[in-house]
Amino acid sequence: MTSDLTSPTLAQVISVLEEFFPSSTAASWDRVGLVTGDPEQPVRRIHAAVDPTLEVIAQARDAGADLLITHHPLLLRGVHSVATTSAKGAAITSLVVGDVALYVGKGQVDAGITGRDLLLDSGSTATEVMGLGFGGSTFRFAGRPGEASGAADLGGRRVATSYAGLVRDHLAAQGITADVVRLDGAVETAITLGVADAIADVVETGTTLRQQGLEVFGEPILRSEAVLIRRPESSQGRGIDVLHRRLTGVVTAREYVMLDYDVPEDALDRVIELTPGLESPTISPLSRTGWYAVRAMVGRGLVQSLMDDLWDAGARAIISTELSACRL
C-alpha cells in the first residue's frame, strides 16, 4: 500500500510512539508493539482506548480510524487459532477486514486506569490508588447445582477462567490446590464441554450461567471496578497527587447535589435541621422581607425526600443542581 503525500505512514507513527513509550521499558511479561497492519499504510485518523474489545474495534472502524492504540494488549498469551468463533479471532478478523492497524502502547507510563480484576490478574507491580466508581463487576465461582458450596470444595478439581492469575492467588491464599485452566471467550461453556468442573467468571445477572445449567456458589472472589493505578517507582509524585485529588473530586461529586430554596424566617430552624450541609448551609436574605435563600450540599439519594420535607416546612422555589466536581 502506498502512502499519501500528506499523511504519515504507520511506521512513522510507531516511531513517534516509541519515543514517548519505549517498548524496551515494558514489563517482561507484556506484549507491546504492532499487532496487525502494514507499516507503509497511511495513518489519517487514530482511535485510542483502554482495551481492544470488539465494541472498541467497531467504534474505530465507524470513526474511519486507520490506527487503534490501546493500553492493554490484544494477544498477551499464546493463541492457537484466529477463527471468528473466539473473541480474539473475531477481534483480529475485524481489524484486518476493517484495515485498522492495532498498536499496543504500554510502555513506561506513571499512571493509568484499568479494572481491579485486570490489575490483580496481570501480576503487575503497579499499585491501586483509588476506585473510580464505575465499571463495577463481581467475580464468582459457579458450577453445577449441588456439586460445591464454597471454594474449599474445589481442591484437586479443574477450574476454568479467563483470569488464571487472580484465581490461583485467591485459592492459594486459602490453602486450596486446584487445576486452574485459562480460557478465552465463553468460559461458562467449559463445564458442558468437559474442560472443567467449575468456573470463575464475572457474574452480573446470572442469566448466562442459568442457561448453561450452572449456579454461583461461595463468597465472591472479588468485587471489581475501574481503578486509578500508578507505578510504585513513579517520580511524578506531585502530578499523580494532583490527578488523584481531581479524580476524587469528580467521584465525590457524584454522591451529592446542591440544593437551593427560599424559605420564610419562621421556618429557618426547621429547614436547617433538614439540610445542615457539610459545614453549615449558606443563608442569604432576600429582597422580600422575612425571606431567605438557603444553599446546602445534600446526599444524592436523599434529595427527593428532602424536597418533600422542605416543601412541607414552608420552603419554596426548591432546586436541585448536579455537581461535576468538588473538593471536600
- The predicted model gives 59-82 an average pLDDT of 69
| 147 & 120 share domain | no
| Assigned domain for 97 exists | yes
Tell me the residue range of the domain where 89 lies: 10-104
Statement: residue 185 has pLDDT above 90: no
- The predicted model gives 125-130 an average pLDDT of 86
Statement: residue 101 has pLDDT above 60: no
Confidence of residue 264 (pLDDT cuts 50, 70, 90): very high
For residue 294, the tally of other CB atoms under 10 A from its CB is 23
| Assigned domain for 193 exists | yes
| 147 & 214 share domain | yes
| 243 & 190 share domain | no
| 196 & 246 share domain | no
Confidence of residue 269 (pLDDT cuts 50, 70, 90): very high
| Assigned domain for 3 exists | no
| 185 & 245 share domain | no
**Gap between the Cα atoms of 177 and 191, Å rounded:** 19
| 124 & 177 share domain | no
Last residue of a domain, one of 104, 122, 155: 104
Question: Which CATH number is 301's domain given?
Answer: 3.30.70.120
**Cβ–Cβ under 8 Å, residues 23 and 33:** yes
- The predicted model gives 238-253 an average pLDDT of 86
Statement: residue 81 has pLDDT above 50: no
Task: Give the DSSP letter of residue 266.
Answer: G
How many structural domains does the chain have? 4
pLDDT of residue 103: 47
| Assigned domain for 149 exists | yes
Statement: residue 4 has pLDDT above 50: no
| Assigned domain for 26 exists | yes
| 302 & 170 share domain | no
| Assigned domain for 328 exists | no
pLDDT of residue 75: 60
pLDDT of residue 260: 97
| Assigned domain for 5 exists | no
| 120 & 247 share domain | yes
DSSP string, 111-164: EEEEEHHHHHHHT-S-EEEEE-S-S-EEEEEEESTTS-SSGGGGTTSEEEES-H
pLDDT of residue 100: 45
| 116 & 35 share domain | no
Q: What is the pTM of this model?
A: 0.58
| 125 & 232 share domain | yes
Statement: residue 157 has pLDDT above 70: yes
**Cβ–Cβ under 8 Å, residues 181 and 161:** yes
Contacts of 52 (CB under 8 A, 6+ apart): 68, 70, 72, 73, 74, 91, 102, 104
As given in the structure block, the three cell numbers for residue 31 are: 506484549
pLDDT of residue 119: 85
| 193 & 219 share domain | yes
Question: Which CATH number is 200's domain given?
Answer: 3.40.190.10
pLDDT of residue 3: 39
pLDDT of residue 275: 96
Q: What percent of the chain has pLDDT over 90?
A: 37
Average predicted confidence (pLDDT) for the chain: 82
Question: Which CATH number is 74's domain given?
Answer: 3.40.1390.30
129: left (phi over 0), alpha (psi -120 to 50) or beta: alpha
| Assigned domain for 1 exists | no
| 14 & 79 share domain | yes
- The predicted model gives 249-270 an average pLDDT of 94
**Gap between the Cα atoms of 155 and 87, Å rounded:** 30
Statement: residue 64 has pLDDT above 90: no
pLDDT of residue 90: 55
**Cβ–Cβ under 8 Å, residues 100 and 68:** yes
